Chains A and B, each alone.
Chain A
């Protein structure tokens, strides 16, 4: 069977000593930053992008992917033990996880979080393996019109499921598309928006943009807030789950896994959305909704499984269609392009070892995380005592050295400072930077496909409405827009994101 031989190829790649090492490093770094509040997978991937240049692309992607799903594990640890979500995707885990810890069941909460994540990771890996080939074959049938409409749908979708004002998010997308236009136009060779600066001829670099908007601006913003972190001195005992816990939690894990896997594939989906929705769902179907927020184990099991499943299945649209569905995937797309691989349906056929290697590494990585996380929890909790004033200069330094090393020029460092300031202004004006990055990654692709579609139709824009698949994507995008505009749904959406703060 194809699936088995593909997976075998994947394991062969992923299990080489070098790739195992980078998988381990990625999950370790991911857990580490997952534990530390104030630094998330997006910033970390941005910061570490340059250091992966020297690696072969497979190892680089394995490591970066490990950071993403590793962060989901680490984030839950601090949510449970100190009521500080290390990641946005572990916010809901605080609600019941911390209560469990207060009741002396911290060990059980941590164990179910780890086991749930592992189960979810296994299922998601399997799902990617099954869906990848048919989806990428479908993508081969897409013409430029379909691609353009799919990207419109993807970008609109990313707004619906993101927090904040939708209309401002659309503005940020367009701004991102414009940033993507900067540099030499491929068709005509014209320099656009480069203002005679030779370093801008190749466009705004992905690394300075990502680091500026997510790294630098976040640091400035955190420094404005007062540092507050309470460490709970607590003995963690009783790792083993009681039979009753397991019986209650197992179906919740299954539900969370399914919810997360589905939501991860959607545009705009991923770990954060998955954890929120699955928690709400769990509360809704529970026979005893009152017990949520008071240490119900399902309130930990379900969202923790969901965020891990969502983190992994969000790779599907990227690797098969070439459309990043959230910021982290935009980062992965950036990483692939830096290594000279265009994300999209061709990845499976042209780099099968890369594709299947990365996917199977996720399964191996999940296994490592279970082994890594439970015994090392004491160390992770100690890490929380590292004060931010020591941490952030180190982050800044890694940023600067990393940016410089991309092209060996200092212009990129200045560009990062400028974009960092811009990112800071965005935070102050409550404009989410995530849609901008998505627009930036998709900008050149969108323009190219728009041009090609219009060339094929001899300038007739109706091509987007007469091709059935293209029309379908546009209708779905339109429905999403209507959904955001309906006041009742809008209120619900804001409610769901309120806790995220």
Chain B
């Protein structure tokens, strides 16, 4: 089988996946009647519609010619470094405090770029940490743990 438009095919599959999952879970909530809709009614309706749309998109992609000819470009470096730096920031914010997690976030996320330069990244990290301290902590008074947990004492 040859898929003419792989992007549409995958998009269709993604919709089917979400649609089926939504319908299955919505079946677990009470449906009610058309006049007195339960919590499951609207989501089930949406889930089924999404599944149907997904099927149409996938089926159409088998035959239809590609309309766009954008060059495919998937690289792992940006995705991995950007996402992991965010997750890490979430993990370290409480134990390490804002200062250290900010330094790490900026340095690690900088590695996502092709033009990564350790010196630039570190300077950027230091400057941004100061900016956050001044704007968010000092002026806007955000409630955020600044120092590592062992220095903050008991919370």
Contact = CB atoms under 8 A, between A and B. Distances in A.
Interface of A: 51, 54, 165, 167-168, 170-171, 174-175, 177-178, 181, 185, 187-188, 190, 192-193, 216, 219-220, 223-227, 387-390, 392-394, 396-397, 399-401, 404-405, 408, 410-411, 413-414, 416-417, 420-421, 424-425, 428-431, 447, 450-451, 454-455, 457-461, 494
B73 A421 contact: no
Interface in B106-155: 106, 109-110, 112-117, 120-121, 124-125, 128, 132, 136, 140-144
A388 B120 CA distance: 12
B49 to A, nearest CB: 6
Given A171-B50, A389-B120, A392-B109, A416 B86 contact: yes
B11 A401 contact: no
Nearest to B82: A220
Contacts of B110: 389, 393
Contacts of A51: 136, 140
Task: State the main secondary structure of chain B at its contact with A.
Answer: helix
B146 to A, nearest CB: 12
Interface string B86-109: 110111011000100010011001
Given A429-B10, A454-B34, A167 B53 contact: yes
B71 to A, nearest CB: 10
B116 A408 contact: no
Contacts of A408: 143-144
A411 B19 CA distance: 25
B82 A216 contact: yes
Task: State the main secondary structure of chain A at its contact with B.
Answer: helix
Contacts, number: 192
Interface residues on B, range: 35 or more
Contacts of A167: 53, 56-57, 60
Given A188-B39, A393-B110, A224 B89 contact: no
23 contacts: A51-B136, A54-B140, A170-B53, A174-B53, A190-B39, A192-B26, A193-B22, A219-B78, A220-B83, A227-B114, A390-B120, A390-B124, A392-B113, A393-B128, A396-B106, A397-B102, A397-B128, A405-B142, A414-B86, A417-B83, A420-B82, A430-B7, A460-B34
A442 B46 CA distance: 14
Contact of A192 (B39, B105, B112): B39
Contact of B115 (A389, A405, A457): A389
Contact of A394 (B42, B53, B90, B128): B128
Nearest to B22: A178
Interface in B47-89: 47, 49-50, 53-54, 56-57, 60, 67-68, 70, 73-75, 77-79, 82-83, 85-87, 89
